[in-house]
């Protein structure tokens, strides 16, 4: 009997040491991750290394924490879970992989969002009510102008990008060098909004009449005998000119998505329409478009969300001057220039509430297409 219990005791002792080892490793990994986050949060710890070296070390620390650290933590915690009974292991293991992601999302998205909402109601001048910031928002003529501009962007930019993307998707589907043609339309999407704004500032550049025009558009206008047009100063031409930049950026995205959707249309439907005597245009309008309706809604709503949050294009080109302001740009200026945090957070909440219905439409559309969201 004693001989039978001795191996079992050795097994338990070995398992105990393994559990202790994994617990120590888990503690070490957590401490290292915490120290890494402390380095990333600190503004002075790496300042002595110089701007370039400091940024490089900061990037390496972020990579180590975000990839190596989290990967090591997953491995250690998963090893600890395996020491539990089989039923408990199967029940707990999914949460080992899900809970860290939930924690990160909660820490960096949910909690700040809740804090922003609370701050929008509580950070008000002394003696004012909870809705003071919102009352100011909807009574400020400049903000009403920004809301109007956002509405213009919301109508024109997604519709323009969708129309251009759909046109190119239908055309490039019929040529031999399809991939090459798509590259030229898709390239602007690889540029940041700020970079695109800088490019189009040169396109719209204006100089007084009689001086050399370095802007492409005004160079063309003066070439044909016209007077140079102040595209970014003239109202309401300037808002429309900025919308063109967003359309230029998003047309490639719309083209890629819609081109894939067109290729997914059953060839039997197209051939049946042609047999019935429908021309190419009629086939495209009456057969192809209804078949890709879901993809068109997805493209429109996705671009609409990006449009509601547009900031960089306006900030780089006009900074909201000449009646081109939008909500996101006004929010940035209120927070970082005027330090009016209560009013800025109220604008952030208004922007969030404007995005939510479009997100709901997008999710419902994806579900109707059979995509589980």
The reported pLDDT for the residue numbered 15 is 67
Which region among 111-120, 174-183, 280-289 has the lowest average model confidence (pLDDT)?
Answer: 174-183
Query: What is the b/e burial string over 116-148, where b = at least 16 CB atoms within 10 angstroms of the residue's CB?
Result: beebbbebbeeeeeeebbbebbeeeeebebbbe
The reported pLDDT for the residue numbered 4 is 45
The reported pLDDT for the residue numbered 9 is 44
The reported pLDDT for the residue numbered 239 is 93
Give the per-residue SS3 of the chain. CHHHHHHHHHHHHHHHHHHHHHHHHHHHHHHHHHHHHHHHHCCCCCHHHCHHHHHHHHHHHHHHHHHHHHHHHHHHHHHHHCCCCHHHHHHHHHHHHHHHHHHHHHHHHHHHHHHHHHHHHHCCCCCCCCCHHHHHHCCCHHHHHHHHHHHHHHHHHHHHHHHHHHHHHHHHCCCCCHHHHHHHHHHHHHCCHHHHHHHHHHHCCCCCCCCCCCCHHHHHHHHCCCCCCCCCCCCCHHHHHHHHHHHHHHHHHHHHHHHHHHHCCCHHHHHHHHHCCCCHHHHHHHHHHHHCHHHHHHHHHHHHHHHHCCCHHHHHHCCCCCCCCCHHHHHHHHHHHCCCHHHHHHHHHHHHHHHHHHHHHHHHHHHHCCCCC
Q: Phi/psi at 15 (nearest 5 deg)? A: -65, -40
The CA-based angle 92-97-100, given to 5 degrees, is 110
Dihedral over alpha carbons 193, 196, 197, 201 (to 10 degrees): 180
The reported pLDDT for the residue numbered 87 is 83
Tell me the mean pLDDT in the region 209-224: 87
The reported pLDDT for the residue numbered 368 is 78
Q: Using one digit for the tens of pLDDT, what is the confidence trace for 85-101?
A: 888 888 888 888 787 77
Contacts of 341-345 with C-beta under 8 Å, sequence gap 24+, read 341/119, 341/123, 342/119, 342/120, 342/122, 342/123, 342/124, 342/132, 342/133, 343/133, 343/136, 343/137, 345/116, 345/117, 345/119, 345/120, 345/123, 345/133
Q: Is the pLDDT of residue 154 over 80?
A: yes
Tell me the mean pLDDT in the region 232-239: 90
Q: Is the pLDDT of residue 11 over 80?
A: no
The reported pLDDT for the residue numbered 152 is 93
Q: Which two tokens stand for residue 367?
A: 């579900």
The share of the chain scoring above pLDDT 70, in percent, equals: 95
Contact indicator for 231, 206 with CB cutoff of 8 Å: yes
The reported pLDDT for the residue numbered 249 is 92
Put residue 229 in one of left, alpha, beta given phi > 0 → left and psi -120 to 50 → alpha: beta
Higher pLDDT, 179 or 370: 179
Higher pLDDT, 326 or 59: 326
Q: What's the chain's average pLDDT?
A: 84
Residues 6+ apart with CB under 8 A from 180: none
Q: Is the pLDDT of residue 160 over 90?
A: yes
Q: Is the pLDDT of residue 2 over 50?
A: no
Q: Is the pLDDT of residue 8 over 60?
A: no
Higher pLDDT, 52 or 216: 216
Q: Phi/psi at 266 (nearest 5 deg)? A: -55, 130
pTM exceeding the 0.85 threshold for the entire prediction: no
Residue in the block written with tokens 């589980």: 372
Tell me the mean pLDDT in the region 270-286: 82
Q: Is the pLDDT of residue 371 over 70?
A: no
Identify the burial level of 254 via C-beta atoms within 10 angstroms of its C-beta, where 0-12 means exposed, 13-18 middle and 19 or more buried.
Answer: buried
The reported pLDDT for the residue numbered 285 is 83
Higher pLDDT, 159 or 51: 159
The reported pLDDT for the residue numbered 373 is 52
Which domains, from first to last, does the chain contain? 2-122 (no CATH), 134-368 (1.10.3720.10)
The reported pLDDT for the residue numbered 270 is 81
Q: Is the pLDDT of residue 108 over 80?
A: no
The reported pLDDT for the residue numbered 14 is 56
The reported pLDDT for the residue numbered 101 is 76
């Amino acid at each position: 009997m004693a001989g039978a219990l001795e191996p079992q005791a050795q097994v338990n002792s070995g398992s105990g040491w393994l559990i202790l080892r994994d617990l120590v490793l888990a503690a070490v990994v957590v401490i290292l991750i915490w120290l890494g986050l402390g380095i990333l949060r600190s503004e002075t710890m790496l300042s002595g290394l110089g701007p370039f070296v400091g940024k490089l070390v900061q990037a390496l620390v972020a990579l180590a924490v975000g990839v190596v650290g989290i990967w090591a933590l997953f491995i250690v915690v998963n090893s600890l879970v395996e020491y539990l009974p089989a039923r408990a292991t199967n029940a707990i293991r999914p949460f080992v992989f899900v809970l860290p992601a939930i924690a990160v999302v909660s820490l960096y998205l949910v909690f700040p969002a809740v804090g922003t909402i609370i701050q929008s109601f509580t950070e008000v001048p002394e003696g004012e009510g909870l809705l003071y910031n919102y009352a100011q928002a909807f009574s400020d003529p400049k903000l009403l102008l920004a809301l109007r501009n956002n509405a213009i962007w919301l109508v024109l930019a997604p519709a323009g990008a969708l129309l251009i993307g759909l046109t190119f998707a239908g055309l490039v589907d019929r040529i031999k060098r399809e991939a090459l043609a798509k590259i030229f339309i898709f390239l602007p999407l690889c540029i940041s909004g700020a970079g695109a704004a800088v490019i189009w500032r040169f396109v719209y550049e204006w100089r007084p009449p009689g001086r050399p025009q370095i802007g492409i558009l005004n160079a063309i206008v003066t070439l044909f005998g016209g007077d140079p047009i102040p595209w970014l100063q003239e109202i309401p031409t300037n808002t429309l000119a900025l919308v063109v930049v967003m359309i230029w950026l998003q047309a490639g995205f719309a083209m890629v998505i819609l081109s894939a959707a067109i290729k997914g249309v059953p060839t039997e439907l197209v051939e049946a329409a042609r047999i019935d005597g429908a021309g190419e245009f009629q086939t495209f309008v009456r057969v192809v478009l209804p078949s890709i309706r879901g993809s068109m809604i997805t493209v429109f709503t996705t671009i609409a969300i990006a449009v509601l949050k547009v900031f960089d294009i306006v900030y780089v080109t006009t900074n909201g001057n000449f009646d081109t302001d939008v909500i996101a740009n006004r929010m940035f200026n209120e927070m970082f220039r005027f330090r009016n945090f209560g009013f800025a957070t109220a604008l952030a909440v208004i922007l969030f509430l404007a995005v939510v219905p479009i997100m709901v439409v997008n999710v419902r559309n994806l579900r109707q297409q059979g995509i589980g969201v």
